[in-house]
């Protein structure tokens, strides 16, 4: 299994911001340098398992939330991520997104996007 550390870093960054913490504050709380947090969030370094666990504990992240691309039971987490991504969309944008999702779902299911 190959872990996408760019996505992992982005999830950590989103959770940190949701917790209203700066990189320096998170770094201090888990005992690492603030540049280390920056490097994790920007995929410049691969965090150790200990650092990942410390971040999960500090930000109250479940393994499903952090590793949802690799966990079979991550459907609810991915649906929540989609809801957050579209939360600030206006009606026109939502309609376009829904049409796009139906089209992509059709392609993924190999029927040519006939859901439209």
Domain CATH code at residue 48? 1.10.260.40
pLDDT over 70, % of the chain: 87
- First CA to last CA distance, the chain: 34
pTM above 0.75, yes or no: no
The verdict on 91 and 50 lying in the same domain is: no
**Has residue 32 been placed in a domain?**
yes
**Has residue 114 been placed in a domain?**
no
Between residues 74 and 58, the one the model is more confident about: 58
pLDDT band at 1 (very low <50, low <70, confident <90, very high): low
Between residues 39 and 116, the one the model is more confident about: 39
User: CA-CA distance, 85 to 112, in Å (whole number)?
Assistant: 25
Q: Which residue's entry shows tokens 């987490």?
A: 77
Q: Which of 23-27, 69-73, 91-95, 106-110 has the highest mean pLDDT?
A: 23-27
Residue 34's pLDDT is: 87
The verdict on 58 and 34 lying in the same domain is: yes
Residue 109's pLDDT is: 84
Query: The domain containing residue 34 runs over which residues?
Result: 5-66
Token reading at 92: 């026109």
* Number of structural domains the chain divides into: 2
Residue 84's pLDDT is: 85
In this prediction, residues 13-32 reach a mean pLDDT of: 96
The verdict on 95 and 62 lying in the same domain is: no
Residue 116's pLDDT is: 45
**Has residue 28 been placed in a domain?**
yes
The verdict on 50 and 81 lying in the same domain is: no
The verdict on 31 and 82 lying in the same domain is: no
**Helices (H), ranges, the chain:** 5-18, 23-30, 34-41, 49-59, 63-66, 75-86, 91-108
**Has residue 96 been placed in a domain?**
yes
**Has residue 116 been placed in a domain?**
no
User: CA-CA distance, 28 to 34, in Å (whole number)?
Assistant: 7
The verdict on 88 and 45 lying in the same domain is: no
**Average pLDDT for the chain:** 86
**Has residue 115 been placed in a domain?**
no
pLDDT surpassing 80 at residue 30: yes
């Amino acid at each position: 299994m190959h872990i996408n550390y760019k996505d992992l870093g982005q999830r950590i960054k989103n959770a940190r911001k949701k917790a209203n913490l700066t990189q320096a504050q998170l770094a201090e709380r888990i005992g690492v340098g603030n540049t280390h947090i920056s490097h994790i969030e920007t995929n410049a370094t691969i965090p150790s398992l200990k650092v990942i666990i410390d971040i999960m504990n500090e930000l109250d992240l479940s393994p499903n939330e952090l590793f949802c691309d690799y966990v079979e039971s991550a459907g609810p987490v991915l649906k929540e991520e989609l809801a957050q991504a579209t939360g600030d969309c206006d009606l026109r944008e939502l309609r376009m997104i829904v049409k796009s999702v139906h089209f992509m779902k059709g392609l993924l299911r190999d029927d040519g996007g006939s859901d439209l």
